[in-house]
Amino acid sequence: SHTTPDEAEAKARLIGAGLPVPKGEPASNAVEAVISSMALGFPVALKALGVTHKSEVGAVRLNLKDAESVSNAAHDLLPLGTGLYAERMVRDGVAELIVGFTRDPMFGAVMTLGTGGVLVELLRDSVTLMLPATRDDIEAALRGLKLYPLLEGYRGRPKADVAAAIDAIAGIAGFVQKNEGEIEELDINPLIVCAEGKGAWIADALLVLGEKKNG
């Protein structure tokens, strides 16, 4: 039997593991969402909790800049899910990655790295790694992506914080390995890689837990 914690719970676990997650707060109604957003600082993203493919069903509102826009978004989103989640917007994003983990019956935990965000299906740009993976393995995998020139500062664009991206991916892999008996699947899409010195942030996470196996 599998359980899928909602985004607020999944992110709380990731934060507990010391991973880079933007500040966020669950809310059960529009008023709470506004109060949370004001505490987090605008602009914020507002999401419906308990919805798996959020962007496909319109369960995400980005770049909300004031209390009124949060309140309006909250009224739209409340019917879609089990609650709301307000989160500080990640700014200065240079590239978006997907970091996914599945459990292979033969090989154990397998990590997929690729171009994330809305381009996932379009570009199908990904590489697969067995765990445990070293930082060098992760860096080599990133260099193998079509997206990599973007991280290097493609055509005069800002360079991305590649070191922070590698840190984040290594940290996520460590979290998966530590909880290997329990985690069936983890999908982080996107991991937003910001400009140099600004970090890499887990903007969305889907966690699927299996029965805890003691071995």
Quickly count helices (H) and strands (E) in the chain.
7, 10
Count CB atoms within 10 A of the CB of residue 16.
Answer: 10
**pLDDT of 215:** 44
Find, among 46, 58, 61, 190, the residue nearest to 117 by Cα.
190
| Predicted confidence (pLDDT) per residue in 53-86, tens digit | 777 778 999 999 999 999 999 999 999 999 999 9
The helix (H) or strand (E) run that includes residue 69 is helix 67-77
Count CB atoms within 10 A of the CB of residue 159.
Answer: 14
Architecture of domain 93-209: 2-Layer Sandwich (3.30)
**In whole numbers, what is the pLDDT of the chain averaged over residues?**
93
pLDDT in tens, the chain (215 residues): 789 999 999 999 999 999 999 999 999 999 999 999 999 999 999 999 998 777 777 899 999 999 999 999 999 999 999 999 999 999 889 999 999 999 988 888 999 999 988 777 777 899 999 999 999 999 999 999 999 999 999 889 999 999 999 999 999 999 999 998 899 999 999 999 999 999 999 999 999 998 765 54
Architecture of domain 23-88: 2-Layer Sandwich (3.30)
Q: How far apart are CA 65 and CA 197, in angstroms?
A: 25
Amino acid at 191: L
Domains 23-88 and 93-209 belong to one CATH topology: no
Stated length of the chain:
215
pTM comes to 0.92
| Predicted confidence (pLDDT) per residue in 119-139, tens digit | 777 778 999 999 999 999 999
The residue ranges of every structural domain in the chain are 23-88, 93-209
Count CB atoms within 10 A of the CB of residue 36.
Answer: 21
Tell me what percent of the residues of the chain surpass a pLDDT of 70: 98
The pair of structure tokens assigned to 147 is: 């997206």
CA angle 91, 29, 36 (to 5 degrees): 40
